[in-house]
Chain A
Amino acid sequence: MHSKRSHEGWLFSSNGMTGRTTECATITCSHCQQVMIVNPLRNRERVYCTGCDHYICDGCGAVRALNGGKCRTFKQIVEEAQEAAAVGRTPSGIILSPY
């Protein structure tokens, strides 16, 4: 059992002029790998994929809803490209991201 927080990255930013610093958690969408800064004041539900047990970005959340909840992670896309190459099927020139 692991916490969703164990998936969080870390962003640190400092403003040189004011000396103000910002430190926040980030989430990497497991479907397209876009990195999102976690807004603690967000009221809307964050999209969660039960297929991969990860939070995903709003764009991939919409795609997932349209596909009837189908989960296709970026790691799967990578696996498929490598499997195709291993059996001699060269991936086509363009590999599409889910979002």
Chain B
Amino acid sequence: MAKRVLGLTTFTPTATADTTNLVDATYFGVIQGGSSTQRINILEIFMGGQAGSSAPTFMLLARDSTIAVTVSSGTGQTDAAMDASTAALAAPPVVGNTATTKPQRSSTLHLLNLSFNAFGGLVRWLAAPGEEITTIGNTASLGEVSLSAFTGGTPGLMGGHIIYEPF
């Protein structure tokens, strides 16, 4: 019931095809329900390019057909509550970009294409109130979303954040 920010200061994504393991720390992250009934809304995504030369980067927010297991955050990734008085949830959502069982992006359930040039480009998406992207539970294929680079282009250095709200 409290908005949180999943941030990543700087990283270079690796272009990865659908239904292929997302290698640790080469994707922005996953957001997965903390229980079989938890609902999570995704309200905003921002990415800013930090590359030193042209770097068309095809970032995709998509549901995962294979769910990540034993998830943790890699270097530079943070997950912070927006409200200073936020109380801890009994079942906190699972976020991170490192896992033992790697997540795989669904080939059919792409939700948002945020292609941009990481050479100084930026992209920001905001949902209208009530129109947020939702996950439910913690199983495939509606229980987890990932933000990762799709095949093609030359993904470049970037940073960004995702604002989400678990219930």
A residues engaging B (CB < 8 A)? Answer: 6-17, 26-28, 30, 32-35, 74-75, 77-78, 81-82, 85-86, 90-91, 93-97, 99
Give B contacts to A, CB under 8 Å. 36-37, 39, 49, 54, 61, 63, 108-112, 116-128, 130-134, 136-137, 139-143
| A34 contacts B110, C-beta separation under 8 Å | yes
**Are A16 and B123 in contact, with the CB atoms below 8 A?**
no
Identity of the chain B residue whose Cβ is nearest the Cβ of A30 in the assembled complex:
B131
A28–B127 CB distance below 8 A = yes
Q: What residues on B are CB-neighbors of A13 within 8 Å?
A: 116, 121-124
Q: Are B136 and A8 in contact (CB under 8 A)?
A: no
From B109, B111, B123, B136, A82 is in contact (CB under 8 Å) with B136
Distance to closest chain A CB from B89 (angstroms): 16
Query: Could you tell me if A9 and B123 are in contact, using CB atoms closer than 8 angstroms?
Result: no
- Nearest neighbor of A90 in chain B, beta-carbon distance: B36
Closest CB in chain B relative to A50 CB, distance in Å? 18
Asked if B125 and A26 sit within 8 Å, CB to CB, the answer is yes
Alpha-carbon gap, A7 to B133, bound state (A): 13
Q: A7-B128, A82-B39, A95-B143 are in contact. List 5 more A-B contacts (CB 8 A).
A: A12-B122, A13-B124, A14-B121, A28-B128, A97-B109
Residue numbers in A under 8 Å from B111 (CB-CB): 33-35
User: Is the Cβ of B121 less than 8 Å from the Cβ of A15?
Assistant: yes
A78 touches B139 (CB 8 A): no
Choose among A11, A33, A34, A85 the residue that contacts B123 (Cβ–Cβ < 8 A). Answer: A11
Contact across chains for A12 and B123 when beta carbons are under 8 A apart: yes
Whether B128 pairs with A6 at a CB distance below 8 angstroms is: yes
**What residues of chain A lie closer than 8 Å to B141, measured between beta carbons?**
94-97
**Which residues of B have CB within 8 Å of A32?**
109
Complex alpha-carbon distance, A75 and B130, angstroms: 10
Partner of A16, one of B49, B134, B142: B49
Would you give the shortest CB distance from A7 to chain B, in whole angstroms?
A: 5
**Neighbouring B residues of A30 by C-beta, 8 Å:** 131
Residue contacts A-B, CB under 8 angstroms, 17 given: A9-B125, A12-B122, A13-B123, A15-B116, A16-B117, A17-B119, A28-B131, A34-B109, A35-B112, A75-B134, A81-B137, A91-B137, A95-B137, A95-B140, A95-B141, A97-B142, A99-B108
B74 smallest CB distance to A (angstroms): 25
